[in-house]
Amino acid sequence: MKIGIIGFGGMANWHRETISGIDGLEIAGIYDIKKEREDFAEECGLHVYKSREELLADPKIELVLVATPNDLHKPIAIDAMKAKKNVVSEKPITLSSADLQEMIDVSRETGMFLTVHQNRRWDEDFLTIKKIYDEHKLGDVFRIESRVHGAHGIPGDWRQEKEHGGGMVLDWGVHMLDQILMMMKGQKLSTVYATFTNVTNQLVEDGFTTVLTFESGTEVLVEVGTNNFVSLPRWYMLGQDGTAVIRDWDLSGEIVCAAGSDEKDVVPVRTAAGLTKTMAPRREDTIHRYELPVVRSDIREFYRNVMAVIRGEEESRIKLSEVMRVMKLMEKIFESAKSKQILDFEK
């Protein structure tokens, strides 16, 4: 199966490296508006098309990857589907739920497969914390915190420009919100509250915090920060019987659970202003410490699934209904941050 790539920036090159390890998938060539990216593609041994139209007219190409700035995903994907090509779009698939519906309509009209590269469904930190949640290792979970922190500010390219779909909600939020909705699958999301930061950039949000409350009462905090010189844990999950922490993508962390002992003799903690039993740590004989049940993954499964869908052998692992739900949640986050109100989402 041959794939054509439109937009050959850093992320598209990551796709090139990934595709090189997949049997049965081959890059037919690329198109990019920048001469330096064309030159780099040729250095990689790739054919360079003279125009987008030339790439889309190539009958050998069955699949097109759209890896351009976010605002161009929709028109290129629609043109590709009308040219009888299946489409993988980089995330976010587009900038609004109305735009996404147009793309879905064209997919249905043309019979072409459309999906989005939600690659972070394969992140091992996510799969590990999801396993902890799914297997009820902490008892009833009442709070989940998901964070990514950096200290370099928002990238200085098109990602800092609103007209191109810049900002951290569409950049990182689309991944983290998708992960949470996958973890809490089957539950309605009741309310949304969000705040934005503009520390390093005034044009788009360079960070955000959103609190999501699900119908079970579980509260989820999702946070992205680009001016954090001390990072908080990537994941922090609180359950009735214990706590789990994953500190970063290196999968350092642990699970600490109650041992079932009745702790009557709490040793007070002495602070500068007095004693406290309430905030004293548990004694070691009343807890169990466990290593994280690390889940390994292979991101190449994404493209293997895409090929199988096109051949009619499998269902897509990324459903457009799931993509639409994330898109509508991001819209609600923008609305909440602007109105400074808690908003209903699903009732």
If you average pLDDT over residues 32-39, what whole number do you get?
97
Entry pTM: 0.96
Pairing of strands 207-214, 189-197: antiparallel
End-to-end CA distance of the chain: 43
Write out pLDDT tens, residues 87-117. 999 999 999 999 999 999 999 999 999 999 9
Q: What is the pLDDT of residue 160?
A: 86
Neighbouring-strand partners of residue 160: none
CATH class of the 121-251+292-297+328-344 domain in this structure: alpha beta
Neighbouring-strand partners of residue 147: 223
Q: What is the pLDDT of residue 263?
A: 67
By C-alpha distance, which of 260, 280, 261 is closest to 269? 280
Locate 155 and state its tokens.
């990238």
Homologous superfamily of domain range 2-117: NAD(P)-binding Rossmann-like Domain (3.40.50.720)
Give start-end residues of each CATH 3.30.360.10 domain in the chain.
121-251+292-297+328-344
Contacts with 258 (C-beta within 8 Å, 6 or more apart), sequence order: 241, 242, 282, 286, 287, 288
Q: How far apart are CA 12 and CA 287, in angstroms?
A: 47
Q: Is the pLDDT of residue 260 over 80?
A: no
Q: Specify whether the CB–CB gap between 15 and 5 falls below 8 A.
A: yes
Write out pLDDT tens, residues 36-81. 999 999 999 999 999 999 999 999 999 999 999 999 999 999 999 9
Q: How far apart are CA 180 and CA 334, in angstroms?
A: 18
Give start-end residues of each CATH 3.40.50.720 domain in the chain.
2-117
User: 241 to each of 125, 133, 184, 258, how far by Cα in Å?
Assistant: 21, 12, 19, 6
